[in-house]
Amino acid sequence: MMMTSRVMQAARCPTDELSLTNCVVVSEKDGFQSGQHVIVKTMPNHKYVFTVRTHQAVVPGTIAFSLPQRKWAGLSINQDVEVSPYNFEKSKQYVGTMTIEIDFLQKKTADSNPYDSDKMAAEFIQHFNSQAFSVAQQLVFSYCDKIFALQVKEIEAMDPSILRGEQGSSKKQKIEIGLMHGNSQVIFEKAENSSITLVGKAKSRGARQSIINPDWNFERMGIGGLDKEFSDIFRRAFASRVFPPDIVEQMGCKHVKGILLFGPPGCGKTLMARQIGKMLNAREPKVVNGPEILNKYVGESEANIRKLFADAEEEQKRLGANSGLHIIIFDEIDAICKQRGSMAGSTGVHDTVVNQLLSKIDGVEQLNNILVIGMTNRPDLIDEALLRPGRLEVKMEIGLPDENGRVQILNIHTAKMRQSNMLSGDVDVKELAIETKNYSGAELEGLVRAAQSTAMNRHIKASAHVEVDTEKAQRLQISRSDFFASLNNDIKPAFGTNQEDYSSYIMNGIVKWSNAVSEILGDGELLVQQTKNSDRTPLVSVLLEGPPHSGKTALAAKIAEESQFPFIKICSPDKMIGHSEIAKCQAIKKIFEDAYKSQLSCVVVDDIERLLDFVPIGPRFSNLVLQALLVLLKKAPPQGRKLLILGTTSRKDVLQEMGMLDTFSTTIHIPNISRGEHLMEALELLGGFQEKERAVIAKEVKGKGVWLGIKKLQMLIEMALQMHPEYRVNKFLALLREEGALGSDKHVTI
């Protein structure tokens, strides 16, 4: 590379084609390299910066200028000029925005056709990437087979904060000389007295700067709760595209070509993918629904894939590294990218579609100007070859929003009501966010809609005709009570607490007939706190074991309810009646997989021996279900998630033989009522019998052994209470004896 200045003679540009490059042309023998920048001094105070191109037609010792360049620099042929290398101070001299005046080069070629300044700007940047530009510079530009005369009016430096992916400052710095690169913004303005017709955004000052729009705002885009995910995607997928291309090239860095967004339905995957296109200063993304690709004719599905990539391929061949970014979004990508060979008896269409997609993203003729975004809530179905680095390498879980995320989402969906003064002052978005644990973004939107419907319903007169009270409707306000009515009745989270499930187990409350019951609840509270607070034990599992009817399920449901975890599910045998072994395994697995999606989860595995189909005779139990439970009870939840498992069983001995007892962190014994005073305590707490009646019962049970579960006791009391008051006590004692719960010897206590 030439390091010192030297005197050279000005010459004419050898070809018209070279005149359109905006470069000065020199001989390779003079030690220049294409792409380097030089400063040309014509007089002591007149200096001009150009980008160099080498060509064999140029005589050594001369430097060739096009007519617009000679006109701008006031050069004549054979004039001596001093040429020396010029180095850009890149952090300060990158072109952020450049305003250019445009007109037809020759008036006779003028026409009235509209020219899209956005497309023109993209073409301009791709043609003149990495070139030097100065204010007042004149050049020619070929577009749509027409030659245009351009003059640089103003150059603003790129804000360095944009290179770091931050929001740009509003203060703009004007510069005299700048280096054009792929993330620059070009604004075309019509020259005075010109007849050219310009359309598009880039003819005005309101245009975006850089590949990232510095004014992007999640709330304005309608996205909430995904700040961290967006910043992670930005870091992995766009940092290399925002950075100056020459630095990226020096690092040998390749752009990320694919992102996979996965997670529960309604959490914003599709919304996020669509907004990525708006956030980037790129052409409108192509959005494809997975099933649309498939076609019944042989080869058509693969042709559909090829069509999606055709524009990107054509542009890469034409413009190489200067090609713009093409975004292709596949919604429900699992429909077309299933594991190859998994579709037994199929025609193999899925397999060839996967092959075609793999070869397009990262095949032999790989494209570097594409970004493929795939979305699915079943990442397990996708062919693993598609998920390796170089293809869909950025895998991002779009999970359920946390409390701050829910505040953002609710603010977005209530923004219009707030602006129109239709949201009552008693609506506290933070309170709603606390109450809506495990709600997805879609469910929160549904909650706002339901609250609006509840409020509107108040202003509808239900007479012979359905009429709206227009006078009151003008003063419509959506209040806190509307939201809470919708919260309790209309919208329930898919991955939330099914209160109907566990409330039925504790409808009669917990009877604390002895200190043992309080201690069990205290131990349960400790386990809940351990699950919440301990980083070392993200999985805590406890087995509540005891005789039948001792209230194990009720105690497990009570511990689960008092934990206030956002996800509580009961895995109960009554939900799986008639299920085959495989269907039962899948149902249990789904409960656990849903639990992993929440930050804090509690799963009650009720009546384990029933889930296992255990009987003491014949085929003893289901080994498939046993193996599934053994795996799931020991499987730790994903990073950052916590899980509490509460199991219940009446056959501890059976679980011991099956090797299941060791899978639980700890075991809590639930006792039966075994002493007369405990029985009397339970009778008093349960009510039903009067004090005189309880005295008779106390006399009868005194000194006798008792063996009875609290659940069975409740049943016996209710049966006895159906009798005439005179016979109730005798009936109750008779029922106790029939059950064998009342011993005759005072020493018989178990």
Active site residues: 552-553, 606-607, 634, 711
The tokens of 476 are what? 């419509």
| H helix count then E strand count, the chain | 29, 27
Mark out the alpha helices in 462-612 (DSSP H runs): 470-473, 480-489, 499-503, 515-533, 552-563, 581-596, 608-611
The residue ranges of DSSP E strands in 208-251, in sequence order, are none
Burial of 353 (0-12, 13-18, 19+ CB in 10 A): buried
Per-residue CA distances from 718 to 678, 683, 728, 735 (Å): 18, 11, 10, 11
106 Cβ partners below 8 Å, 6+ apart? 147
The tokens of 163 are what? 């290179």
Burial of 167 (0-12, 13-18, 19+ CB in 10 A): middle
Give which of 214, 222, 218, 241 is closest to 230, Cα–Cα: 218
Three-class DSSP category at 640: coil
Classify strands 177-179 and 132-134 as parallel, antiparallel or unpaired.
Answer: antiparallel
- Helix or strand run (H / E) with residue 449: helix 441-457
- Helix or strand run (H / E) with residue 602: strand 600-605
- Helix or strand run (H / E) with residue 156: strand 146-157
CB atoms near residue 181 (< 10 Å): 22
| C-alpha span between 552 and 540 (Å, rounded) | 18
| C-alpha span between 238 and 285 (Å, rounded) | 15
| C-alpha span between 183 and 164 (Å, rounded) | 13
CB–CB of 162/238 below 8 Å? no
| C-alpha span between 421 and 416 (Å, rounded) | 9
Give which of 354, 329, 328 is closest to 269, Cα–Cα: 329
Give which of 77, 92, 28 is closest to 56, Cα–Cα: 28
Q: What is the DSSP letter of 369?
A: S
Total count of residues recorded for the chain: 750
CB atoms near residue 8 (< 10 Å): 22
The secondary structure of the chain in percent helix, strand, coil, rounded to multiples of 5, reads: 40, 20, 35
Query: Taking the C-alpha atoms of 48, 51, 55 and 59 in order, what is their torsion angle to the nearest 10 degrees?
Result: 20
Place of tokens 């101070």: 89
CB–CB of 303/310 below 8 Å? no
The residue ranges of DSSP E strands in 137-277, in sequence order, are 138-143, 146-157, 174-175, 177-179, 185-190, 197-199, 258-262
Place of tokens 């005046």: 101
> Residue 146: beta bridge partners?
143
Report the Cα 283 to chain-centroid distance in Å: 22
Per-residue CA distances from 711 to 192, 474, 502, 717, 721 (Å): 93, 56, 16, 10, 16
Give which of 75, 85, 86 is closest to 10, Cα–Cα: 75
CB atoms near residue 350 (< 10 Å): 21
Q: What is the DSSP letter of 212?
A: B
